[in-house]
Each structure stands twice: as C-alpha cells, then as structure tokens.
Amino acid sequence: MINTLSRLRGAGLVLLAMTAVFGLSGCGNAPTKAQGLRALNAAYDEIRLRENTAVASVPIGAGANVAPGTRQQVQLALKSIEGPVLVAVVVDEDQTAVLGFAGQNGPYRTWITGSRQTLVTRNGVLTGTRGLGFDLMSSEATAAMNLVTARRSGSVERIYRHIDGENHEVPTRMTCSIGPDGAETVTLLSGARISTTRMRETCVAPDLSVSNTYWVSGSGQIPQSRQWVSEQIGPVVLQVLRH
C-alpha cells in the first residue's frame, strides 16, 4: 500500500485537540452524526502506520528503495494478477505498491493498488494519482511525452494540476527541457533486463523546479521512470513489469 500522509508529525497534537472538539461521538447509523471519533481514529491510525513503517530497505535503482522481501512479493503478484502490472515506490516514504490494470480511456491507463489508490499514465508518463492525499490531479504532458518517447531533445510547456486545501485545482505551468542522458541497462524487479536511453526532463516554474527521469527502450516504451507527483509526495519510481 502506498501511504503518503506527509507532514503529519506536527498534526498529531492538533489532532488530539480536534478529538476533544469533535470527539464527542458514539454509535448509530445516522450518516452525519456521531462520527467524529471514528474519523479521527482513522486519521490517527494512518499517522501511526506512517510513523511505524519499517525503513529497512534495499535499493532498486532510480534512487528508490524497497523493503526486503518485496522482490518475492512482486513475483507472487506477477503470478496472481492477470494482465499488466506496475510497481510504484514513493521514494520519500520508502513505500512500495504493486498495481494492477484498472482501465484504459484513450491513451490513458489507470493502475490500481489493493487499497484503492490509483495512478494514471500516458505511454508511461505519469499524468495523475488518486488516493494519495496530495494527489496530482492531472497533467497536460503530450508534448513532453512525444519528445521523451522519441528520445529527442527540446523544450516544451507542461501543466501540472494539484488540489489545494480549499478544494481548488491549482495549475502550475512549467517549462520543461528534455534531453538524453546516456544509455543504461535497467533491471526490473521482475528480473527482466532492458537496455534503455536515459531521458532527463527538468521543469521550472517561477517558484518551483522539478525533474523527471525516464528510461526509454528502443521501441519508445518507458519500463522504468522516476516522476514527480507533488511537493508533499515528491517523486515516485515506476517500473512496468508487464505491459
């Protein structure tokens, strides 16, 4: 499960105070009554889970680490999940998830974890996430994707959209320079080895600079990538284990 409740440590105290305010709650089946304690408990559990997750991990490349034993879990998942399989590592949290295929809408593929978190990719370029909290709502990345998959250099416009604390979608218009950065043979968690061209994308906006790295195969596919989600979540490393 991907668990990316960032910036939570300071929230514990406030949450305790909120429990005092909202916590007067009990039982029943009324949808909007007496649910304070339940919701705050759930929030508290998520914080605890976040804080207590073991951090012992092994590197898998692209700057990401996975917990020992993940390889075996991935092998199992490859056997039990039918169809395409994606592995995602939230780098800052050392959290790994195996995602199955949830649907395709035109060029967009939606991948889903067992705990109903989703990632959306377009030809391997991440354009959305859901269920992570500080999600990437959508991204206009057609021009970037075209350069990356063609392994060409250039500068393009790209829009990242996030949601803020007031339910407003906040678009960030970025200028991205894209170019090759050498050849590399990628070893996937499934054991497959693929020779790729490493493509770097650096995007800048007035107050923000982010970078993405794509390992692009000879056929223009992206078996491995490290892509930015949001300021709070940071980058995820993706490996497409089965197309």
The least distance separating another protein from the CB of residue 144, rounded to whole angstroms, comes to: 15
Picking from 112, 161, 82, 122, the residue whose alpha carbon sits closest to that of residue 2 is 112
Long-range contacts of 16-21 (CB under 8 A, 24+ apart): 19/44
The least distance separating another protein from the CB of residue 120, rounded to whole angstroms, comes to: 6
The least distance separating another protein from the CB of residue 7, rounded to whole angstroms, comes to: 8
The least distance separating another protein from the CB of residue 236, rounded to whole angstroms, comes to: 15
Task: Using CB under 8 A, pick the residue from 120, 125, 148, 186 that binds another protein.
Answer: 120
Paired residues of 110 in beta bridges: 103, 120
Calpha distance 195→216 (Å, rounded): 8
Quick note: the x/- pattern for another protein over 24-63, rule CB under 8 A, is xxxxxxxxxxxxx--xx-xx--xx----------------
Which are the contacts of 183, defined by CB distance < 8 A and separation ≥ 6? Answer: 195, 196, 197, 198
Parallel/antiparallel/unpaired status of strands 118-122 and 95-105? unpaired
Nearer to another protein, 62 or 203 (CB): 203
Task: Using CB under 8 A, pick the residue from 67, 91, 163, 205 that binds another protein.
Answer: 163
Q: Which stretch binds another protein (CB under 8 A): 66-74, 83-91, 130-138, 186-194?
A: 130-138
Tell me the residue length of the chain: 243
Task: Using CB under 8 A, pick the residue from 79, 168, 185, 207 that binds another protein.
Answer: 168
Task: Using CB under 8 A, pick the residue from 49, 56, 115, 243 that binds another protein.
Answer: 115
Paired residues of 210 in beta bridges: 203
Which are the contacts of 59, defined by CB distance < 8 A and separation ≥ 6? Answer: 65
Q: 86, 240 in Cβ contact below 8 A?
A: yes
Nearer to another protein, 152 or 173 (CB): 173
Calpha distance 125→142 (Å, rounded): 9
Binding site for another protein (CB under 8 A): 5-8, 10-11, 13-15, 18, 21-22, 24-36, 39-40, 42-43, 46-47, 102-106, 108, 110, 112, 115-118, 120, 122, 127-128, 130-131, 133-135, 137-138, 140, 161, 163-171, 232
